[in-house]
Chain A
Amino acid sequence: MNIIKVDGLSFGYSEVEVLRKLSFEVESSSFLAVAGPNGAGKSTLIRLLCRELRPKSGSIRIDSAAIESYTARDLARKVAVVRQEFVPVFGFTVTEVVAMARSPYLDTFAFESRTDREIIAEALEMTETAKFASRTLSQLSGGERQRVFIARALAQDTPVILLDEPTSFLDLKHQVGIYDLLKKMQLEKGKTIVVVTHDINLAGRYCDQCLLIGGADGEKNCFIGKPEDVLAPERIERIFDVKVAVGKAGRKKIIIPLGKFADSVTDTDADLTSTE
């Protein structure tokens, strides 16, 4: 069953066209990674999928209904978004920020019920942010804040979670921790995860499908499929315009970009063993 169906999607900011006739489907309870060079339209795609932007042409269907047909509230019960972390102007505590995610389920006078509190507590536990639940966001580090925003998306209890570069400020432990958490959400709770990321290696290890957007001017392309097919080294080199070296960690491939001043590495020199 396809929970997200994109058909012929085109979008541009004034004259600059960013996405052209993009079509793909995301199966329910799957993990999709979206990769591509800067400016390819990855964040734009996320914004289109949560209806922050309206497409120039084409259609988006969420759970078999056109995205325009949802009220804001109903859409919020289907799709949660995790954007770049920021410090809000007012000093909301971590708990208050995460609690806001329950808003689509509250009525006019908006007081959280016991179920709501349990969901909030669970979200805090899972992202390991419970220990600073009563601190304000300005008192946290960027990485900790990012986890709070992810906790908020979890508390929103939606079948689809969209994430725009969620691990950019996280340390190694938490990078892997977040992907583990997202995978757990997918496998145990049946959520559909769509992640925009620059880290193609990490994404490639976790996702079921990969969507690669990009291409030289006049040649907007998108490739969707299994990560090992989509993230082929030659294609990476062409789309990202960079030389890469390929290695292996366990059964999965690793792709490393090569710069001018790094040591030159060839396939035969690579002898990477994983700690799995």
Chain B
Amino acid sequence: MKELLTVKKLTARIAVAIVLLVLVMCVCSLVGTQRISLSAVFAGGHSQQTVNTDYEIFVHVRLPRILLACVVGAALAYAGVVFQGLLRNPLADPYILGISSGAGLGVMIAVMSGYSWTLWGRSPITVFAFAGALLTVWLVWLIGRFTGRANMTGLLLAGVVVNAFFSAVIMFLTSVVKSDQLHSTIFWLMGNMTEESFFVLWVCGGCVLAGIVVLFCISGRLNLISLGEDEATSMGVNTVRTRTIAFAAAAGITAIAVSLSGLIGFVGLIVPHGVRLIFGPDHRQLLPLSAITGSAMLVIADTFARVVVAPAQLPVGVVTAITGGPIFLLLLTRYARKSGLLNK
């Protein structure tokens, strides 16, 4: 039976994907507004009197950004797959349940409070964004539960309502806030990669990885849930518990991604679609491959953002949005042709 997934096939595909990702990371780490050479990088940090700028740039600017792009890209794509499966809706993305507007509101509040306190030497925007995202998801979950425990439509509607309301609040605050605060909020909202310390990358990367592993363990049950709610129950899945775990884990990794780098759109929507179109909807395969593809996509997008209008730096969210639209259209036409919706 050659259509069914086997451990061997899956491991092989994951291995190839990881190799490609590492390749992409290596190539992109050598691209930037400054030309650097690998040999200079390997010469080390401060061997002579003068500073080795190639090493500095590589280790302190490029590498952290690329690693961050990997973590955020993987988190967003992964969460996108999970939400699309849970909500049985191919148009779902990780922000559909209020995370985006909640994080945005958190950031606005942080910016407006004229923050002067720091957490580990960094501004509280990250913390406020994270808190805002999680609180909003929890709010949406509560509202959704009022419409019935097993009702995904209720959850979706609650998400739409909360998103709309918080976006309105953000718009209101935008119109009264001071101009440089406004600028920094908008800049954050567009999605950016910055150089984080390796400690932060390690902590956040670890949390995201934990979420990824948890969700992978329930990927079989996700298959069933994405088929149908009743079907899943009669095939032995405790849908309420599975949905709660999946929801919480996916929301958690999205909140981490958003607090680190702002609202980067399209990665969570397109990558699942693309991977599903090529490899099929089996979540045991879809999840890991989407994570790796998401990482690669964001690394490439960030590289573009860094060099395309040098010396200015585009926010990476702009790049994903601009390239995301046409790619999505392409996927859509391919999908329509595949399922016979277009005239033959």
Contact = CB atoms under 8 A, between A and B. Distances in A.
A81 to B, nearest CB: 4
**Main SS class of interface, A:** mixed
Contacts of A100: 223-224, 227, 231, 235
B194 interface: no
Contact of A108 (B7, B217, B233, B237): B217
A72 B280 contact: no
B220 interface: yes
A77 B217 CA distance: 21
A156 B302 CA distance: 48
B180 interface: no
B228 A88 contact: yes
Interface in A133-161: 133-134, 136, 138-139, 156
Contact of B221 (A91, A95, A103): A103
For chain A, which range describes its interface: under 10, 10 to 19, 20 to 34, or 35 or more residues? Answer: 35 or more
B37 interface: no
Given A111-B5, A133-B3, A138-B339, A73 B236 contact: yes
B176 interface: no
B235 A103 contact: yes
B220 A106 contact: yes
B3 A89 contact: no
A92 B226 CA distance: 10
Contacts of A133: 1, 3
Interface residues of B, number: 34
A92 B214 CA distance: 23
Interface in B329-343: 339-340
A139 B338 CA distance: 10
B151 interface: no
Interface in B226-281: 226-228, 230-231, 233-238, 276, 280-281
A79 B236 CA distance: 10
B196 interface: no
A205 B90 CA distance: 45
B323 interface: no
Contacts of A106: 220
A91 B1 contact: no
Interface in A107-128: 108-112, 117, 120-121
A232 B160 CA distance: 56
Interface string A68-79: 000111111101
A110 B283 CA distance: 11
A72 B236 contact: yes
A38 to B, nearest CB: 20
A52 interface: yes
Contacts of B226: 88-90
Interface of A: 50-52, 71-77, 79-81, 83, 86, 88-93, 95-97, 99-101, 103-104, 106, 108-112, 117, 120-121, 133-134, 136, 138-139, 156
Given A83-B231, A108-B220, 5 more contacts: A72-B237, A73-B236, A92-B227, A93-B280, A95-B1
